[in-house]
A and B are shown apart, each in its own frame.
Chain A
Amino acid sequence: MTVSFILNGEDVAVKARSADRLVDLLRERFGVAGVLPDCRRGVCGKCLVLLDGRLAPSCLLPAFKARGREVVTIEGFAQTDEYGDIKGGFADAGLETCGFCDSGKILAAAALLERNSRPSREEILAEMSAVPCRCTDPEALVKGVQAAADRRARRLYRRADQ
């Protein structure tokens, strides 16, 4: 079957089989490195994408589920101001990651801040549970998301001022 969807802002179409997971299509056909197939159960967060603006594990999406929808990976998200807020916030908090869960963490933080611009510690931990990883220091992660929220607020405030 041919599946047409929007990938990082571009209209794309790909020949896929019912058995193909979106995560593998993204990597193998579109060269997207920002999603990693790992647990294939939707729990590790390494394959997260934004599907119509919502955080979703691309390993649990058969190709046909992407039809007509908007898929954003970290490559697409990296073009946004929000990405800068989050990268900066994580750096402010000294958050260290293993390198495998970064994209998932950034997208999860983005999804959270989009809905809730000043999340509490509990709200952060609840949302970031989508990307559990051995490398994560929970305190640094909370601080990182809060710092990202600060940066975002300052940026939007500056923009409002102009």
Chain B
Amino acid sequence: MLISEVHSPQSLPELLELMRRLPAAALYSGGTELLREQAGKYIFLPPETISIGALPELRQVSLTERYLEIGAAVTLAEILELKESALPELLAGALRGVATPALRNLATLGGNLATRSRFMDLWAPLACLDALAELKDAAGSRWINVNRLADDEGRPAFPPGALLSRIRVPLERWDAVALRKVGLRDYPAPETAVFALAARAEKGILSDFRLAFAGETALRLREVEGRILGRRLPLGAKERASFAAEYREAAAGLPSGLRQQFGTLVDGALDLISR
């Protein structure tokens, strides 16, 4: 289909109404996802396309002492330009690893987070930070934890018919953070995934520990995190081995290369917090 009808709503209510009326329409934000697997002379878009990248309501950024809010149509480059104190390092690290500087000027937050076939680079750090995502549809709006964008099996679970309008990232002090991207960096291949860790200790006791890993599927084990919390640091070798084993077991469904890498990353994480 070489010809697509392109709608350019001028306001959020107009957009939501269009989405309700045209449930099969593609939302065009930065376009990097829609255009990803096409390299012919012409661009193939679905019969109906809704261009949302310029809507002012989706491009707001606001900062308080406790939160950073970013609109879904803010580009990744724009997010990276926020001042250092406003942008959590975990998020900044993930953003820097996405594509090239020129592509980051087009790619948007929404395009990266509101995906249905797999997880892109920002899910893991945002899940780790327990960020919230605001979803809107014609019926209203609601906030959900980014972790709920993955279902119990770790598959993407972005609600159909919903628009991601903004995210809210808590700004907290962390003692240890780590971010690693494995696999093919510039293309979301099956072996591409992002690993994120955030941890805090108070008076030698681990007060917060969060670990997220996402590629085609997502992994976050709150139950295990809950048991690691409250432990005295440094963790003993036996404790580390036992938690590492739990994580490895949970990762059994991953392809072998990725599973091995995840195992090593978990070891690294447990090692890091012990210092």
Q: Which residues of A contact B (CB under 8 A)?
A: 1, 17-21, 24, 37, 39-43, 45, 48, 51, 54-57, 60-62, 64-65, 67-68, 108, 111, 126-127, 129-130
Q: B105, A17: Cβ atoms under 8 Å?
A: no
Report the separation of the CA atoms of residues A75 and B59 in the bound assembly, to the nearest whole angstrom. 31
CA distance A65 to B41 in the complex (A): 17
Contacts of B28 in A (CB 8 A): 62, 65
> In the complex, what's the smallest C-beta–C-beta distance from B244 to chain A, in angstroms?
33
Which residue from chain B places its CB closest to the CB of A111 in the assembled complex?
A: B101
A43:B35 contact, CB within 8 angstroms: no
Q: B44 contacts A62, CB within 8 Å?
A: no
A57 touches B102 (CB 8 A): yes
Task: List the B residue with the shortest CB-CB distance to A1.
Answer: B6
Among residues of A, the one whose C-beta sits closest to the C-beta of B81 is A115
**Contact digits for B47-77, partner A, Cβ 8 Å, 1 yes 0 no:** 0010101100000000000000000000001
Question: Which interface class (under 10, 10 to 19, 20 to 34, 35 or more) fits B?
Answer: 20 to 34
Residue among B51, B54, B105 with max Cβ neighbours from chain A (10 Å): B105
With contact pairs A55-B102, A127-B101 given, residues A20 and B35 touching in the complex (Cβ less than 8 Å): no
B102 near A45 (CB under 8 angstroms)? Answer: yes
Residues A65 and B44 in contact, CB atoms below 8 Å apart:
no
In the complex, which residue of chain A has the Cβ closest to the Cβ of B77?
Answer: A54
The tally of CB-CB contacts under 8 A between chains A and B is 91
Contacts of B3 in A (CB 8 A): 17-19
Q: In the complex the two chains form, is A129's CB within 8 Å of B6's CB?
A: no
Given contacts A42-B103, A48-B102, contact A62 B77 (CB under 8 A): no
Residues of B within 8 A of A18 (CB): 2-6, 43, 45, 49
Q: How far is the CA of A1 from the CA of B51 in the complex (A)?
A: 14
Q: Is the CB of A130 within 8 A of B43?
A: no
How far does the Cβ of B102 sit from chain A's closest Cβ, in whole Å? 4
Query: Which of A19, A111, A129 has most chain B Cβ within 10 Å?
Result: A19
A99 to B50 alpha-carbon distance, docked (Å): 38
The chain A residue with its CB closest to the CB of B39 is: A40
Contact at A62–B100, with CB atoms within 8 Å? Answer: no
What chain A residues lie within 8 Å of B54 (beta carbons)? 68
Chain A residues lying within 8 Å of B99, measured Cβ to Cβ, are 42-43
CB-CB < 8 A to B44: which residues of A? 19
What are the nearest 6 A-B pairs in CB distance?
Answer: A19-B42, A18-B4, A130-B102, A40-B39, A19-B2, A54-B105
A110 to chain B, nearest CB (A): 12
Interchain CB contact under 8 A, A24 and B41: yes
- B31 touching A55 by the CB < 8 A rule? no
Residue from B32, B41, B100 within 8 A of A129 (CB atoms): B100
Contact indicator A20/B43 (Cβ below 8 Å) = yes
Assuming the contacts A18-B49, A57-B106, asked whether A130 and B38 have C-beta atoms less than 8 A apart, the reply is: no
Q: Which of B16-49 contact A (CB under 8 A)?
A: 28, 31-32, 35-36, 38-45, 49
Distance (whole angstroms) from the CB of B37 to the closest CB of chain A: 9
B101 in contact with A40 (CB, 8 Å): no
CA distance A40 to B99 in the complex (A): 14
Point out the residues of chain A lying under 8 angstroms from B145, CB to CB. none
Q: From the candidates B2, B53, B102, B103, name the one contacting A65 in the complex (CB within 8 A).
A: B53
| Interchain CB contact (< 8 A) of B103 among A40, A43, A67, A111 | A43
Cross-interface CB contact of B42 among A21, A57, A65, A129, cutoff 8 Å: A21
A60-B35, A129-B100 as given contacts; A40 in contact with B77, CB under 8 Å:
no
**Bound form: Cα–Cα A129–B41 in Å:** 24
Chain B residues within an 8 Å CB radius of A21: 41-43
**Chain A nearest Cβ from B44, distance in angstroms:** 7
Please, what's the 1-or-0 string for B177-216, where 1 marks a CB less than 8 Å from any CB in chain A?
Answer: 0000000001000000000000000000000000000000
Instruction: Give bound CA distance, A129 to B101, whole Å.
Output: 8
- Bound complex: CA of A57 vs CA of B105, how far in Å? 9
B105 CB, nearest partner CB in chain A, Å = 4
Question: A residues within 8 A CB of B101?
Answer: 55, 108, 111, 126-127, 129-130
